Amino acid sequence: MDGGILRGLSEGTAANQRVGEARVGDRTLVDCLAPTLDGAAHGRGPGRLARDRGRRAGTRPGHRRTHPAEGRASYVGERAVGNPDAGAMGVALLFWALALYRDPTSRHRLTPPAGI
């Protein structure tokens, strides 16, 4: 990923965590952003990052059974259990689409985020 994009995502994620007090595991878009930034910092390319996003975007079956602690999903309580976090899914889909845009031949290697 481009350094400017990474810097912007990193600063935006930090601001979201600071203001919204969201952490990884709270079932928010931070569940997708933080691992993506960590992966990029460790040199994982966009294809691998996109493939991993569906697994880490608050979409894992076990994660769906948890109650959201922060974000909009926290307002709906029990109704959120069993459903992926919309913000995390949106971010996962964005990274998936960006990876396909960057390398259209990767379509057969990339799994779309779970639930899409």
What are the pLDDT digits (tens) for 83-114? 777 777 888 888 888 888 888 887 777 677 66
76: which 2 tokens?
């709906």
At 15, the pLDDT band (50, 70, 90 cuts) reads very high
Dist. CA 103–CA 7, nearest whole Å? 22
Give the pLDDT confidence score for residue 71 in this predicted structure.
57
Closest CA to 114 of 58, 41, 43, 38: 58
User: Who's near 44: CB < 8 A, 6+ residues apart?
Assistant: 52
| Assigned CATH topology for domain 3-108 | 1.25.40
Sequence spans of domains, the chain: 3-108
Q: Above 90 in pLDDT, residue 11?
A: yes
Predicted confidence (pLDDT) per residue in 30-85, tens digit: 888 888 888 777 776 654 555 555 445 444 544 545 555 555 555 566 666 667 77
